[in-house]
Structure 1
Amino acid sequence: MIQKSYIWVSNYLILKSLMRQLSLYFLAFSLICFSAIAQEKRENLVKSNKWFIAGPSKESEETLNAIRIKKGIITITTKNNPKGEIELNVMITPSETNDGIPTNLSSESKFVEITYQSTQTIKLQAREGNSEGTGCVHGGSHPRVSLPASTHQFKTIKIPWSDFKQDELPDGKLLNIHNLCKFNFVNYNPISGSILKIKSVIIN
């Protein structure tokens, strides 16, 4: 009788241990799934939003967006003997025009992640809404950072919001992520045939 009780207690402890392990595995699996779902919910502005272009680019706005929709990539090629800068824009909140309402990002948002390839250094401006309170129609601050050239391969970088400063000055005005209109990818001195490709722009 004692032996049977011992066996029963032993089996119970083994079962309890197995149940505890299964619970831990289930918790870990749930966290992984939740993380994957959260990852999927992050919008890639290349795929979700219309883009706008100005300056000596071979690609028109229509061509740019047709390729973006079909292939999920932005491609810009500088014309020969370019004059002026090339400016590539995307609103944070989707818009059919190059102006709209500013976006109030959550204070939990910490950085933007960009996957790109470029034969020249690109200035990334994070443009804020204007001081008149009329949204994104001209004006507003343009805190910025530099995207270094990555000629031969795609590069993914995470840029903290705290890196965006007016004119890239050490003491420049910091970006206000609660009044964010758009991203401007600017090539101030384009060289003939220079290329910029963007696979993803994801706000975290």
Structure 2
Amino acid sequence: MLVTTFLCIFNKIAGVVPSLRGDWAWSCSMRKPTSHICGGSLINGQWIVTAAHCVSSGTLASSYKWICGIYERNKQNTDIDFDNYVMPACFPAKTDTYEGATSVTTGWGTFFPDESPDTSRKEMGIRVLTEADCVKKFGANMLNTTTQICAGATGIVLNMYQGNSGDPLLVEHSNGLWYLAGLASWGYGYADGHVYTSLSAYRDWVQGHVSTFPSGSD
């Protein structure tokens, strides 16, 4: 199963703050060759999920480098071994919905329009929007509400900019664990919201590919 028995890190935040070492232990940095370009999330010992547009069509998987379970982006590990700082994300059920939920996004990209990329991971507390608010903000013709969800820091100008595609949208369940609700897909930039690919909608697709392709397959 993709839903792991590992304890998902518990943390509550407000605004944009640096992540503590060991928090969000499934959060990963995608690099090519050494520069951070996208975020991703570890879902087991061999597989990471990210946004589709982060990966160029026809490019070998070996062209990218993933760094997981670290605080500083310029420190590299070679293997993904589970410990207190590296563990897989909890994957949502197909029936999970998150409208109105307080959530967290985390990554190595920028959250402000004139901000320079940072070597350390940051996190931001945001709220999952209702379907109606999502359509109102981004337009019905730009969204597929079956496979996409929206979240944002409503009321302040705070968003994700360069290097945040593929970053996780994390929602705390009633059991106290944080689940991977979505992956950052796109937004309009200087706005108070972002569109995420829903992992609940793609659970079967992800599970099918993970069980089909061998580890390290290009």
Q: Does the pair score TM above 0.5?
A: no
Taking structure 1 as the reference length, the TM-score comes to: 0.30
Q: Which of 1 and 2 has higher RCO (CA within 8 Å, sep 6+)?
A: 1
TM-score calculated relative to the size of structure 2: 0.29
Q: Higher helix fraction: Structure 1 or Structure 2? A: 1
The structure whose residues are more often strand, as a share, is: 1
Larger Rg over CA atoms? 1
